[in-house]
């Protein structure tokens, strides 16, 4: 909830099933994204800050030192967005909620320079959606919520920097998951509709 953002970080060791504390974030945040980069560092971007309000700041975690360092800030402050690692090592951040509502904008993080650049905007503003990288290198963004519940989906093409609409889900949902299966299909599961949890799942292909 707004005002309850945390800066603490923990590491899970699968060898013995235990958790241990590691370096603290420079800025407390919730509703952010975290993604593993090709260089082994973790990029954390945006979120809701202490006291409320979307953040534009981003940080990098280095497992070798257990420390966080600041990197370039996003162009647009956002929370409840998605972050997807592209094949070329850049990170696509799309949608989310800004301080004036749901966003359609998207931007790219370049880990070689630590900077963000604007890319094409989605045709539909959305937050609390899900995004997944497809085998063809495109990114599928599914459903979410804006002023209305959404079931529309869009595809991002890194080669052109543009979005195109694709088939819609059968049911509107937000706060769901999207998982790429080994056969190239995408499993969309759960989420909520009008604040009621969903048990249904759908396949995109």
- Residues facing residue 12 across a β-bridge: 19
pLDDT at residue 51, rounded to an integer = 84
Is residue 158 included in any domain, yes or no?
Answer: yes
Is residue 154 included in any domain, yes or no?
Answer: yes
Q: What angle do CA 105, 102, 175 make, to 5 degrees?
A: 105
pLDDT at residue 2, rounded to an integer = 45
Is residue 4 included in any domain, yes or no?
Answer: no
- Burial code (b: 16+ CB inside 10 Å, e: under 16) for 146-155 equals beeebbbbbb
Q: What is the mean pLDDT of each run of 10 residues along the chain (205 residues)?
A: 80 97 97 98 97 95 97 99 99 97 98 99 98 98 93 97 96 97 98 95 96
Structural domain containing residue 199: 9-204
- Please report, for the domain that includes residue 71, its CATH number: 2.120.10.80
pLDDT at residue 3, rounded to an integer = 54
pTM of the shown model: 0.95
pLDDT at residue 52, rounded to an integer = 85
- Number of domains composing the chain: 1
């Amino acid at each position: 909830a707004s005002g309850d953002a945390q800066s603490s970080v923990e590491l899970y060791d699968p060898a013995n099933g235990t958790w241990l504390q590691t370096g603290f974030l420079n800025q407390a945040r919730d509703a952010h994204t975290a993604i593993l980069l090709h260089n082994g560092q973790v990029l954390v971007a945006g979120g809701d800050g202490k006291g409320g309000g979307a953040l534009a700041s981003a940080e990098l975690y280095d497992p070798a030192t257990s420390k966080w360092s600041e990197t370039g800030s996003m162009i647009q402050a956002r929370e409840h967005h998605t972050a997807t690692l592209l094949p070329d090592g850049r990170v696509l951040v799309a949608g989310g909620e800004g301080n004036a509502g749901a966003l359609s904008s998207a931007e790219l993080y370049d880990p070689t320079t630590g900077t963000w650049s604007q890319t094409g905007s989605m045709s539909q503003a959305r937050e609390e959606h899900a995004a997944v990288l497809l085998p063809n290198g495109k990114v599928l963004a599914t459903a979410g919520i804006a002023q209305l519940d959404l079931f529309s989906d869009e595809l991002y093409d890194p080669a052109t920097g543009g979005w195109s609409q694709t088939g819609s889900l059968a049911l509107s949902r937000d706060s769901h998951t999207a998982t790429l299966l080994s056969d190239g299909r995408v499993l969309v599961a759960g989420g909520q509709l009008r604040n009621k949890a969903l048990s249904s799942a759908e396949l995109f292909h």
